[in-house]
A and B are shown apart, each in its own frame.
Chain A
Amino acid sequence: MSEQQLRVQSLTGVDLTLKIAGPGTRSYAFVIDWHIRLLLACVWLLVAAVAQVKITWRTHDGLISVLPAAIIYFLYHPVVEVMTRGQTPGKRMAGVRILGRDGGQPSTTALLLRNVFRLIDSLPATYLVGLTTCFLTRQRVRLGDIAAGTLLVLDNAAAEASLLRIELLAANSKLSLDALELIDQVLERWDSLESANRARVARSLLSRLDPKEDAANLAHLSDAKLRDMLQAHLGSDAAVNHV
């Protein structure tokens, strides 16, 4: 599925691009949050039990054991979303956040409304209505989001880190920006790539950067040597971060 984007007009005349989270990312965030609230509710019940509070219906003790656990479980989403302005821990871990359709921060009313509609979205079970709506709507939203005028967008915090890094790269190397970014990405992902694949990518890059480089010579170079050569292209200061 291609990445969904929404262009929002801004006051400056330069459109804002919002990358919309799909049903998969949405479900991933929900599952994390579901585990957190379940865990918190269980911890509270455990604490109450350890404190020797009897959980029986015949005493008033249920009020201090079952009630807080129920509140944690059922009011987790509305309370945490309002407190964090649309980024629950699960959403933060999944790299998404709730925004208004104008790209602005959603209001408290909007956040409460999208949670009220969970009652319909969760019907008949396992959020079937919500998920179906997500698949059918262009902006991948559930009914609660339509009512509240909100979207779940990808929040790419790493993008800003690369923005700060580009200054260092540009200062230390004479390569073009495209080449710099490409080498930087390869080195960044070096350890997660398979040995054979990264060596092939490194050889291909090195032969393009320096056409005089002998292909046969490159084929005999070790994994570590290829990495060193790529780092040398970034310049000494910039390469330090990848060592």
Chain B
Amino acid sequence: MFDGDDIRVWIMARAGSWRAIVNNVAALRSQRQATVDEALNAVEAYRGLARDLATARRVVPNSRTTAGLESLYRQIHTLISRRPQGGWETIRSALCLDIPKVTRELRVPILSMALLMGVSALAGWWLIATFPTLIGMFASEDMIEHVEQGHLWTEGLINVVPSSMLSIGILANNITVSVMAFCAGIFLGLGTLYLIAMNGLMLGASFAFVHQHGLACALFEFIIAHGPVELSVICIAGASGVALGESIIRPTGLSRRDSFQACAHRIGPLLLLCAGLLIGCGLIEGFISPDPGFPMASRVTIGAAYWLIMWSLLTGRLFVKRIAE
């Protein structure tokens, strides 16, 4: 058993080593990389500190000494388990391996989301074609007024708002919608299904409405450059959200929480790529789509080329080929 004097002797004997560890931890925390020797010293200090902490918990529980050792032990534990700085290699690995893998896994949900969006769009079209007065549910009064006067609401947009600001507004909105479609998956996937169905319904309703006023071709011309990627990304985000919901309903890990967490981590890089693609969509929608100077052929080319780039990124073909070479 330890008595008062033993504890004093023990503290005096170990205090020097604690002081050294406090200084080492402060130094290691401030530097991004450590040498092998520094890392080995930290591991050795970690072991020593574990022994001291176990002793302190037994002989002086609830003391400031034990609290100090707990704090130091936690800090050195965090330092030792620090992940290496991946940098470009991490991004490369995500593009070559992680994203293509998760895209393959989500193939069926992506197609299902595309189908849901297509069916919802048809339903929206039918709804407005049958009951034209219901367009007020899907479009603002401004938009309806524009179309009834024979103009698309997108006409002259760049005369009102500069392209740069327009792009920022659009890409911020698109990213919010996509991220929301993913996050809404937490409500057992139902939130995602609702968002995708509503987007499809609005798309179909808008097309039916402009078709009634002979402007369907103009709207198609407006969206063809950015639409394919934008709609695809929304479907991918929706599929990710559904997978998130499924991970809660049918957990694959130890618990629903673990399963949800693992699914979110697996899908994370794909979502980041989607955000990047939506930035591109926003730029096209702000600078190219509303500009009447771009003929239909160039819009189709841009739309198709951008979609192919997206497909190559999702399947990993763009980078895997280069690595093989």
Which residues in window 23-62 of B have CB below 8 A to A?
A: 46-47, 50-51, 53-54, 60
Interface residues of B in 255-283 (CB under 8 A from A): 257, 260-261, 264-265, 268-269, 271-272
How many Å lie between the Cα of A57 and that of B68 in the bound state? 56
Tell me how many residues of A have a C-beta within 8 Å of chain B: 57
Are A112 and B272 neighbours in the complex by a CB distance under 8 Å? Answer: yes
**B112 interface hit (Cβ, 8 Å):** no
Q: Are A103 and B63 in contact (CB under 8 A)?
A: no
Asked if B162 and A177 sit within 8 Å, CB to CB, the answer is: no
- Is B71 at the interface (CB under 8 A from chain A)? yes
Flag if A109 contacts B261 (CB, 8 Å): no
Question: A117: which B residues are within 8 A, CB to CB?
Answer: 183, 186
A112 to B60 CA separation, bound complex (whole angstroms): 41
Query: How many Å from the CB of A41 to the closest CB on chain B?
Result: 15
Decide if B102 is an interface residue (CB 8 Å cutoff).
Answer: no
> CB distance B186 to A12 under 8 Å?
no
Q: Which residues of B contact A16 (CB under 8 A)?
A: 73-74, 77
Per the CB 8 Å criterion, the residue count for chain B at the interface is 57
| Inter-chain contacts of B74 with A (CB < 8 A) | 16-18, 103, 153
Considering the complex, give the chain A residue whose CB is closest to the CB of B159.
A58
Binds A, one of B3-11, B142-150, B206-214, B226-234: B3-11
Report if A102-B81 is in contact (Cβ < 8 Å); known contacts: A12-B46, A57-B165, A116-B182.
Answer: yes
How far, in whole Å, are A181 and B90 apart by their CA atoms in the complex? Answer: 48
* Binary per-residue interface labels of chain A (123-146) against chain B in the complex, 1 for a CB within 8 Å, 0 otherwise: 000000000000000000001001
Query: In whole angstroms, what is the CA distance A74 to B179 when docked?
Result: 14
Contact A62 B18 (CB under 8 A): no
Question: Could you say which of B19, B77, B82 has the most chain A C-beta atoms within 10 Å of its C-beta?
Answer: B77
Which A residues are in CB contact (< 8 Å) with B320?
A: none
Q: Does B12 contact A (CB under 8 A)?
A: yes
Residue of B16, B82, B162 with highest tally of chain A CB at under 10 A: B162
A14 neighbours in B (Cβ, 8 Å)? 50-51, 53-54, 73
In the bound assembly, the distance between CA atoms of A103 and B161 in angstroms comes to 49
Instruction: Specify which chain B residues have a CB less than 8 angstroms from the CB of A13 in the assembled complex.
Output: 50
Q: How far is the CA of A58 from the CA of B22 in the complex (A)?
A: 57
The reply to whether the CB of B321 lies closer than 8 angstroms to some CB of chain A is no
For B53, the closest partner residue in chain A by CB is A14
- Chain A residues with Cβ below 8 Å from B82 are 104-105
Chain A residues with CB under 8 Å of B60's CB are: 177-178
Chain A residues with CB below 8 A from B225, complex form = none
Q: How far does the Cβ of B31 sit from chain A's closest Cβ, in whole Å?
A: 13
A159 touches B183 (CB 8 A): no
Q: Complex: how many Å from CA A136 to CA B74?
A: 26
**Of A57, A159, A160, A164, which is within 8 A of B161 by CB?**
A57
Which residues of B158-197 are within 8 A (CB) of A? 160-162, 164-165, 168, 176, 179-180, 182-184, 186
Report if A215 contacts B (CB, 8 A).
no
| 6 new A-B contacts at CB < 8 Å, known A16-B77, A105-B82, A167-B11 | A112-B272, A119-B183, A120-B183, A153-B74, A163-B65, A177-B4
7 intermolecular pairs with C-beta atoms under 8 Å apart: A67-B165, A109-B269, A119-B183, A143-B186, A146-B257, A149-B261, A167-B12
